[in-house]
Amino acid sequence: MEDSPINRLPEDTLHQIFSSLSLRQIMICRSVCKLFNRTLTSSSFIHLISARSHLHLLALRPPHLHHHHHSLHASLHSCIHVYDPDQNQWLRFSLDFLPFRSPHPVASSLGLVYLWADSPDSNKSLIVCNPLTRQYRVLPQLGSAWSRHGSVLVDSRNRVMVLTELAALYFSFSQKTQQWLKFSSNLPSKPRSPIMISNSVFALCDVGSPWRSKWKLFSCAVKNLLNLNLNVMNNNWECLERHEWGDIFDIMKRPRLIPGDGNKILMIGGLKSNYSFNQSCSTILILRLDLETMEWEEATRMPEAMHRWFQDSKFKVFGGGNRVCFSGKKVGRLALWDCCKWRWIDGVPGNGDELFRGFTFEARLTAIP
């Protein structure tokens, strides 16, 4: 390669040539030679194509660490395992560029991945990174309790929230103070599967008794919460209820939320076969709420042959848009609802019997704010 004529081309010319490739092709070309790697990882090239090319992937969160599976989890923690639904293949992005122990990815937005990791003083730090550019930034220090009990929410405007039942933290890369703002959440119970859509946070809360769950949908507008002058947030959580919704929350067993396409919310749970205390579920149901019309519709139901694998086991759900992924204990593979089609995902990292969580990862060459 040292004697190749391509070495004599100006950098701008190389950038124009490579900018015509897809992100998938660019990632392959990085491993061809040192020249290609240096060219395709330069800040000027990343800036040139950052808004042009991206991949819509599903990323796995590593399972919780158990001492008897330490070697398996250590390998899972050293990288991010992602699934490319368009190519039906697993990819792996290394996290070896992070100078922290036990990185645990939890969320992503516009190519940036947010993860918890052990800092040198043994506290948990929240870090934002881009596995493709191998850049990272440490967010202001937090206590370890937030990593154990908080749900991390991020959006396309580089706003970050860590939400618990009693309190929440807010951080924006654009704010002058560059520190976490803390406010009381005052929710009736621990928020279940909170999501951020259209400048609002939505979460399910159980307002029932210890003997019988009763789920309600709560929302809070970020613009109404934040008062930067006072450095506090006001409690503006609202329970969303409509008479025409009927018993839509009562027919779902252990529902959870996922952001849908545009201004829509997906609610996923088991469809109860009756109203008895330990009722079984006839299938797994996906409902869709349009936030503009505030009307629910049924998006799909899991096929019976696929549901047999999940009906007797605990399962987790993750995804976004029109892609919803299901992980079940000892199922051995993942189930995917992909744009109105159901299919299995094989080749899951590890032994495939873990109960995986995850998030959508729109891989792109985005710079860290």
Structural domains for the chain: 1-52 (1.20.1280), 53-61+75-364 (2.120.10.80)
Task: Give the least confident one: 49-53, 111-115, 254-258.
Answer: 49-53
pLDDT > 90? residue 4? no
pLDDT at 110: 87
* pLDDT band at residue 302 under the 50/70/90 scheme: very high
- Do residues 315 and 277 lie in contact, with contact meaning Cβ atoms separated by under 8 Å? no
CA distance 92 to 105: 13
CA distance 214 to 188: 12
H-run or E-run covering 285:
strand 281-290
* pLDDT band at residue 221 under the 50/70/90 scheme: confident
pLDDT > 70? residue 352? no
Task: Give the least confident one: 77-91, 164-178, 223-237, 345-359.
Answer: 223-237
pLDDT digits (tens, 9 = 90+) for 75-88: 445 889 999 998 89
Give the residue among 231, 229, 175, 168 at the shortest CA–CA distance from 196: 168
pLDDT > 70? residue 277? no
pLDDT > 50? residue 7? yes
Give the residue among 115, 119, 92, 93 at the shortest CA–CA distance from 104: 115
For the residues 24-35, what does the mean pLDDT come to? 80
DSSP E strands: which ranges in 66-225?
A: 79-84, 89-94, 101-109, 112-118, 124-130, 135-138, 151-154, 159-163, 167-172, 181-184, 192-197, 200-206, 215-221
Mean pLDDT, the chain, whole residue set: 84
**Higher model confidence: residue 230 or residue 96?**
96
CA distance 213 to 206: 6
For the residues 262-268, what does the mean pLDDT come to? 95
pLDDT > 50? residue 71? no
Of all residues in the chain, the percent with pLDDT exceeding 70 is 88
pLDDT digits (tens, 9 = 90+) for 157-166: 888 999 988 8
- Which residue carries 């409509």 as its tokens? 242
For the residues 204-222, what does the mean pLDDT come to? 89
- Which residue carries 């990632």 as its tokens? 27
pLDDT > 90? residue 267? yes
pLDDT at 66: 44
CA distance 257 to 323: 13
pLDDT > 60? residue 228? no
CA distance 113 to 119: 17
